[in-house]
Amino acid sequence: MKPGPRLTPLAASLPATVPFVGPEAQERIRGRLFAARLGANEMGFGPSPAAVSAMAAAASEAWMYGDPENHDLKQALATELDVPAEAIVVGEGIDALLGYLVRLMVGPGDTVVTSRGAYPTFNYHVAGFGGTLHEVPYRGDHEDPAALVAAASKTDAKLVYLANPDNPMGSWHGAAAISETIEAVPDGCLLVLDEAYVEFAPEGTASPLDPTDRRVIRMRTFSKAHGLAGMRVGYAIGHPELIAAFNKVRNHFGMCRVAQAAALASLRDPEHLPETIDRVAAARLRIGEIAAANGLAALPSATNFVAIDCGRDGAFARRVLGGLIERDVFVRMPFVAPQDRCIRVSCGPDESLDLLEKALPAALKAAG
């Protein structure tokens, strides 16, 4: 037998994992479509009509590569955020930007700190570049900034990851706590502050942007509040020297023209975003009411999803989730105890929440 491709020893040692099994894969296995898609934290209310029009107009230009500098979008973001354009890098969603950052900073044996049960794609990148991951438990369904910083100091970590608001629990810390965390980051360590859901959070959640601060890089996205998950547009805000380093490793032509046009048009639509945030807030209340009507508790959320405490352990919550999936309602759940006592339901239009309301009592009954 002829030898196959020669993977690196690191790649050969890694499992071929999929951080999230997509609803499409589940539909293929099930042999039918979901009636309600409430599991991937997508924006079921859709993107800005201006973004839709911009995508349609840009479609005829899809034969051209996108601008490798993302110039227009960066300038618009700089104006919106009141930071220099040199402090912003645009990429193919936060996932890609996390991958580029880890590639820049983490080599075999380098230490990285995160929360046990936090967003797993970050961990996937760390493993892919040979980093050593140290995990800190949640405290009261919140990520624990003080414990993360302490672990980073103890392990001489290069990166420490914190999402605010958090996925999968929807919890959050106020701006003062985040500022204190940045101040406490040990020398030589970078705080990776994932703010994918920050538009949904209460006022006073985001600490002030300071692109002169070398201790923190912030990740934001058009996938959530802007309803453009399928376009894959994210951006990072940080010190210009760190941002410039992304040019060493990023895919310069990774952003397509259609995605660039969609994000720019959405950013220039001042009315759509607040309307969407209001609709998400109403959907969170509705999900809480559905949970309460079934004897369950919805956790407070600053995101476009709600974690519903099923009141028992992870095995029971998985049965509830399975019962919902059997009834064509796609949801997900945290994967680490004790957070896995919950299921996680994305906000969506009334039609989808009607299906959740109908399916949940039967799923709970089937779960025993």
- CATH code of 355's domain: 3.90.1150.10
Tell me the per-residue pLDDT of 100-145, one tens digit each, with 9 for 90 and over.
999 999 999 999 999 999 999 999 999 999 999 999 999 999 999 9
For residues 256-275, average pLDDT: 97
211 and 131 in a single domain? The answer is yes
Region of 88 please: left (phi>0), alpha (psi -120 to 50) or beta: beta
Both 253 and 360 in one domain: the answer is no
Query: Is the residue at 68 inside a domain?
Result: yes
> Do 53 and 40 share a structural domain?
no
Describe the strand order of the beta sheet including 342-346 as a list of residue ranges.
Answer: 297-298, 305-309, 342-346
End-of-domain residue from the set 214, 233, 267: 267
Bridge pairing between strands 329-330 and 305-309: unpaired
pLDDT at site 16:
87
* Residue 259, token pair as written in the block: 């995605």
Helix axes 93-105, 120-128, angle to 10 degrees: 40
Q: How confident is the model at residue 54 (pLDDT cuts 50, 70, 90)?
A: very high
Token pair, residue 131, equals 């980093």
> Can you give the pLDDT at residue 19?
76
Asked which of 267, 298, 326 is the last residue of a domain, the reply is: 267
The set of residues, in sequence order, having a beta carbon less than 8 Å from that of 237 and lying 6+ positions away, is: 81, 83, 87, 88, 209, 211, 217, 218, 220
Looking at the fold, whether 55 and 34 belong to one and the same domain comes out as no
- Is residue 13 one of the residues assigned to a domain? no
The Cα 51–Cα 7 span in angstroms is 42
**3-state class (DSSP) for residue 186:** coil
My answer on whether omega of the bond before 23 falls inside 30° of 0, hence cis, is: no
Domain limits for position 282: 20-44+272-367
For strand 190-194 and strand 216-221, is the pairing parallel, antiparallel, or unpaired? Answer: parallel
Looking at the fold, whether 38 and 137 belong to one and the same domain comes out as no
Q: Same structural domain for residues 297 and 249?
A: no
- Predicted confidence at residue 186, as pLDDT, reads 97
pLDDT digits (tens, 9 = 90+) for 307-349: 999 999 999 999 999 999 999 999 999 999 999 999 999 999 9
Q: Report yes or no on 353 lying in a domain.
A: yes
- Tell me, yes or no, whether 39 and 154 share the same domain: no
Helices and strands (H, E) in the chain, number of each type: 13, 12
pLDDT at residue 1 is higher than 80: no
Q: Cα–Cα distance between 87 and 238 in angstroms, integer?
A: 5
Residue type, 321: L
Look at residue 82 and tell me whether its pLDDT is greater than 90.
yes
Is the bond leading into 338 cis (omega within 30 degrees of zero)?
yes
Q: Give yes or no: residues 111 and 28 share one domain.
A: no
- The enclosing H or E element of 221 equals strand 216-221
pLDDT at residue 55 tops 80: yes
CB atoms < 10 A from the CB of 254, how many? 17
Tens digit of each residue's pLDDT (9 = 90 or more) over 149-196: 999 999 999 999 999 999 999 999 999 999 999 999 999 999 999 999
Our count of domains for the chain comes to 2
Q: Would you say residue 140 lies in a domain?
A: yes
Q: Is 14 part of any domain?
A: no
Mean pLDDT of 292-305: 98
Residue at a domain's end among 229, 245, 267: 267
Query: What are the tokens at 347?
Result: 């906000």
Shortest CA distance to 223 belongs to which of 180, 252, 266?
A: 266
1 belongs to a structural domain: no
Whole-angstrom Cα distance, residue 137 to residue 135? 7
Question: Are 219 and 307 members of one domain?
Answer: no
Mean pLDDT of the chain: 97
Which band of pLDDT confidence, cut at 50, 70 and 90, is reported for residue 236? very high
